[in-house]
Structure 1
Amino acid sequence: MKKMLMTAVLGMALSMTSAVMAAGNVAAGKGKAAVCAACHGTDGNSLSDAFPKLAGQHEGYIVKQLMEFKSGARQNALMAPMVANLTEQDMADLGAYFASQKTAPGAVSEELLAAGEQIYRGGNKETGVPACMACHGPNGNGIPAADWPKLSGQYSSYIETQLHAFAKGERNNSPNGMMADIASKMSDAEIKAVSAYVFGLK
């Protein structure tokens, strides 16, 4: 547990000492977000769980992901061409716009509620999985200063896909590999349960 705490603190420090980003403009971002609407919805609430909700997500986290899609640090065949010509200001404006929108609420399956809540709030001491809320907050609102994302209301299938990607090493853009380490210790059932649980958080 001490090791996980130290890793978390170090990860936060690294995120907070990253380059200062440009200030985003919500109005400018709204115009630039028109091209994002086909997948993510006009207000960032995508209509398909194949695409993540961006509404209400922290500005810094959105900018970080856009920058990493552009640099190749995060691989995605659909996103790569979308970000290719974005400037840092474009990214900041998009981040500001989507952060200003309200996340559409989700609902958690009753059969997965208890198991998901246990992992999210208490982790699994036997396998070394820490409580998700340590970084993502008790209500899934994340930690903006550390660029740790908001999870509440996010589609469960998207969260599940990302956790599996971290576990398999297909996604590796979390500070110091924190998410890869955590996800690799989770069982498929735990991943499914916690993914369903965060969908219902408000």
Structure 2
Amino acid sequence: MNKLLSTMFVLAVAFATAQTAQAQQVSGSVENGAKKTAMCVGCHGIIGYQASFPEIHKVPKIAGQSASYIVSALTAYKTGDRKHPTMHAIADSLSEQDMADLGAYYAQLGMKEGQTVPATAQVPESVQALVSRDKDNSCTKCHGANFNTPNDGTVPKLAGQHADYLAVALRAYQVGGGGHGYVGRSNAVMGGQAKQFDSAEIKALASFISTLPGDVKTVPESRFHRVD
């Protein structure tokens, strides 16, 4: 019996490993992603569009973010690590392939009008004090000295993002992802960083980052894409 259980365990591990490897190999198609944006363009395809939850703020610019970040964000909304009723409902309807296709589409959408981004950002002393509050300078260590060159594909580009959205996101990290509420984001690193700042400091940091040249943008779409 022990031998049988041992064999079943090995097979289960092998199956799980194969499934993980398969998930990691999912590659996105720009062409297919363009056909799957019907649930996205109503908010992310309108310049200046504002959401009303958890407060009134502009929806984030997603064109120009990396494909891996978009997949990571959608996955977090699907699992509940990022709490947002509307985004959870949308992400929950997407397969891994759908997410990969949408990631590929929006990543290339931001490249159509190429932008020049400075190698470094000239940070005002008042903001530098906030960025440097952590001895490891985690803000720029992860998001890049210009807040536009993340050190990892799952980390978002922040430069040029809407200030009010950045503030809402930081406050969500302060709340965390525990419990059954409708607001909060689960991320140990971001939670630790966000909790260092009070409301005024979050507003100052978000306002500065929003003024920096960056890759992210909102690209208007005049119609919904037809799914064949």
TM range (shorter): 0.7 to 0.9
Structure 2 match to 1:12: none
Greater share of helix: 1
Structure 2 match to 1:41: 45
The correspondence for 1:76, drawn from 84, 106, 115, is 84
The correspondence for 1:171, drawn from 184, 191, 204, is 184
Structure 2 match to 1:10: none
1:124 aligns with 2:124: no
Distance 1:189 1:119 in 2: 11
Instruction: Decide whether the 8 Å contact of 2:172 with 2:184 is kept in 1.
Output: yes
1:51 aligns with 2:59: yes
> Cα distance 1:138–1:144, how it changes in 2: closer, same or farther (>3 A)?
closer
Any unmatched runs of 5+ in structure 1? 1-16, 106-111
> Cα distance 1:131–1:74, how it changes in 2: closer, same or farther (>3 A)?
closer
Higher mean alpha-carbon deviation, 76-85 vs 165-174, is at 165-174
**CA deviation map 1:21-64 (0-9, x unaligned):** 5111111111111320011116xx66334311111111111101
- Give 4+ residue runs of structure 1 displaced > 6 Å after superposition: none
Distance 1:72 1:154 in 2: 23
Instruction: Decide whether the 8 Å contact of 1:113 with 1:193 is kept in 2.
Output: no
Structure 2 match to 1:109: none
- Aligned partner of 1:47: which letter? Y
TM-score by length of 2: 0.66
> Cα distance 1:54–1:21, how it changes in 2: closer, same or farther (>3 A)?
farther
1:190 aligns with 2:201: yes
Alignment of 1:146-157 (within 5 A): 146-157=153-164
Distance 2:153 2:160 in 1: 20
Q: Percent identical across equivalent pairs?
A: 34
Residue correspondences, number: 171
| 1:158 aligned counterpart, secondary structure | helix
Distance 1:130 1:187 in 2: 18
Alignment of 1:12-161 (within 5 A): 20-41=24-45, 47-48=49-50, 49-102=57-110, 115-120=126-131, 123-124=132-133, 130-143=137-150, 145-161=152-168
Shift of 1:186: 1.2
Instruction: Decide whether the 8 Å contact of 2:141 with 2:151 is kept in 1.
Output: no
Instruction: Decide whether the 8 Å contact of 1:119 with 1:132 is kept in 2.
Output: no
- Aligned partner of 1:51: which letter? V
Any unmatched runs of 5+ in structure 2? 1-20, 51-56, 116-122, 177-182, 214-228
Distance 1:155 1:113 in 2: 19
**CA deviation map 1:115-159 (0-9, x unaligned):** 335434xx226xx68352111001212426351111011100011
Instruction: Decide whether the 8 Å contact of 2:175 with 2:185 is kept in 1.
Output: no
Distance 2:211 2:148 in 1: 12
Instruction: Decide whether the 8 Å contact of 1:129 with 1:186 is kept in 2.
Output: no
Structure exhibiting the larger radius of gyration computed from Cα positions: 2
| 1:191 aligned counterpart, secondary structure | helix
Instruction: Decide whether the 8 Å contact of 2:83 with 2:185 is kept in 1.
Output: no
